[in-house]
Amino acid sequence: MSSERKGELVATRAIIIVDGKAMLGKRGKGIAVGRFALIGGKPDGDVLPVQAIVREVEEETGLKFINPKLFLEETNDNTVPGQIWHTYYFSGETEGNLRLKLDEIPEVIYVGKDNLKNIDIAFNHSEVLQRYFNQIEQDDKLHL
């Protein structure tokens, strides 16, 4: 899969939860520099989205992204004006030690459901995380 799909740009994002909070990286370059976003990037060549997110997480954070599961796949044209993005959001676990690629992610923070609105989060990642946290709450209630 290339990073374009019938006029759409393709991206992958990782939902990494640590102690009930989502990891967000401060963008060091590209669109939305200085704002926080989910870790991720674009697939290269014919790489599958799941392969791309595993590579991106390791490149940008030094962490191994294990057991990635597709949480959400969406296409939208309101994330970046004038562009259509097809984005794959994967949740998963990590192992290893955090080693940031500082030119891409100079800082990470961990954000819970209750303080998503208090952080300058790029793109639609705040809404995606809200959906994720709501789904986790629903799943927990079903298993009580």
What are the residue boundaries of the structural domains of the chain, listed by start?
Answer: 4-142
Q: Is 137 exposed, middle or buried (0-12, 13-18, 19+ CB in 10 A)?
A: exposed
Which pLDDT score, from 0 to 100, does residue 26 have?
Answer: 98
Q: Which tokens in the block code for residue 1? A: 């899969």
DSSP 117: G
Say if CB 55 and CB 140 are below 8 A apart. Answer: no
Say if CB 11 and CB 30 are below 8 A apart. Answer: no
Which pLDDT score, from 0 to 100, does residue 3 have?
Answer: 61
Which pLDDT score, from 0 to 100, does residue 1 have?
Answer: 54
Which pLDDT score, from 0 to 100, does residue 93 have?
Answer: 95
pTM, two decimal places: 0.92
Query: For the chain (length 144 residues), average pLDDT per consecutive 10?
Result: 69 97 96 96 94 98 98 89 92 97 97 96 96 91 69
Distance CA 63, CA 80 (A): 28
Q: Report the candidate in 67, 79, 88, 86 with the shortest Cα–Cα distance to residue 17.
A: 67
Say if CB 60 and CB 105 are below 8 A apart. Answer: yes
Question: Side chain identity at 81, as an amino acid letter?
Answer: P
Domain 4-142 annotated CATH 3.90.79.10: yes
- The CB-side HSE value for 144 (13 A sphere, CA atoms) comes to 7
Which pLDDT score, from 0 to 100, does residue 68 have?
Answer: 98
Distance CA 41, CA 77 (A): 17
